[in-house]
């Protein structure tokens, strides 16, 4: 026997199933085909091996939650949200955070991040909103060419309606979040999964689900949305900053 919460987390990918979990769920759901049950248990054992979604061979539950979410709101004051990053920008961000990372692991992480973005290309993608501190646009990650490409991609996502992006300008001053980044994931009304706040850390990640925790982050997001520029003005600011990087790239090319 196990709790409804455990079953919900297994079904949504928030918890990795071990072979025993799979065996018990097969019985619970009335799966009579033993060969099929054996195959599912084999997959559960293989899930402990590195795959495209792996991060140093540790499965990240965020991936399952993203697949089930109907709305995702991402806040960052350090880097562009992962679902919007270019491969070049992602590579520089990951190298900056994990200075001793090996080239093979780095390639794997960049590939995983790019595959995550396929979520926004689904026929019925989740509603995605990115709230970014203006510092994210101004921080020159990898040089002007990488930044130009990164901001071009963000503008394309806006045009294609894959994302709503709002920038919190410097002039706002102190704002409503002390965490440097977090994702707020919401699920369909009929889903047993409650809203989740995901906070990425240097050593470990946090998944907050208690109502009091979720309510505090929901409140912070409401304040951040109010303090941010509206989507049109945000796109104009992104364009202006992009043009500045483009000018630097052009000058460097002409002087070279």
Full DSSP string of 112-147: HHHHHGGGGGSSSPPEEEEEEEHHHHHS-SS-HHHH
| Across 60-86, average pLDDT | 93
H or E element that contains 58: strand 58-59
In this structure, the answer to whether residues 39 and 85 fall within a common structural domain is no
Q: What is the CATH number of the domain that holds 102?
A: 3.30.870
**Looking at the structure, do residues 104 and 187 belong to the same domain, yes or no?**
yes
Q: Are residues 42 and 101 in the same domain?
A: no
Q: Looking at the DSSP assignment, which residues form a beta bridge with residue 55?
A: 58
Are 145 and 39 in a shared domain? no
* Residues 29 and 101 occupy one common structural domain: no
What are the pLDDT digits (tens) for 113-171? 999 999 999 999 999 999 999 999 999 999 999 999 999 999 999 999 999 999 999 99
pLDDT for residue 173: 87
168 and 63 share one domain: yes
Secondary structure class of 75 (helix, strand, coil): strand
Q: Which domain holds residue 60?
A: 54-255
Judgement on whether residues 123 and 10 belong to the same structural domain of the protein:
no
Whether residue 30 is found in the same domain as residue 86: no
**In the chain, how many domains are there?**
2
Query: Same domain for 33 and 84?
Result: no
pLDDT at 174: 87
User: Are residues 158 and 33 both part of a single domain?
Assistant: no
């Amino acid at each position: 026997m196990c709790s409804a919460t455990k079953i919900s987390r297994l079904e949504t990918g928030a918890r990795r199933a071990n072979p025993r979990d799979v065996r018990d769920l097969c019985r619970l759901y009335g799966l009579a085909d033993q060969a099929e049950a054996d195959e599912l248990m084999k997959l559960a054992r293989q899930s402990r091996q590195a795959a495209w979604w792996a991060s140093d061979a540790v499965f990240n539950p965020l991936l399952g939650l993203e697949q089930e979410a109907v709305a995702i709101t991402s806040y960052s004051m350090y880097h562009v949200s992962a679902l919007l990053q270019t491969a070049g920008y992602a590579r520089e961000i990951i190298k900056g955070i994990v200075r001793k990372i090996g080239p093979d692991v780095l390639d794997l992480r960049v590939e995983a991040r790019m595959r995550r973005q396929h979520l926004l290309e689904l026929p019925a993608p989740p509603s995605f909103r990115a709230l970014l501190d203006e510092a994210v646009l101004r921080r020159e990650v990898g040089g002007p060419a990488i930044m130009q490409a990164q901001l071009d991609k963000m503008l394309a996502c806006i045009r294609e309606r894959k994302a709503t992006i709002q920038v919190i300008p410097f002039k706002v001053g102190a704002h409503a979040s002390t965490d440097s980044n977090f994702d707020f994931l919401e699920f369909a009304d009929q889903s047993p999964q409650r809203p989740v706040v995901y906070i990425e850390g240097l050593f470990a990640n946090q998944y907050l689900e208690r109502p009091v925790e979720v309510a505090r982050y929901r409140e912070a997001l409401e304040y951040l949305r109010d303090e941010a520029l509206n989507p049109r003005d945000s796109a104009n600011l992104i364009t202006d900053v992009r043009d500045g990087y483009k000018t630097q790239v052009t000058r460097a090319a002409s002087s070279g």
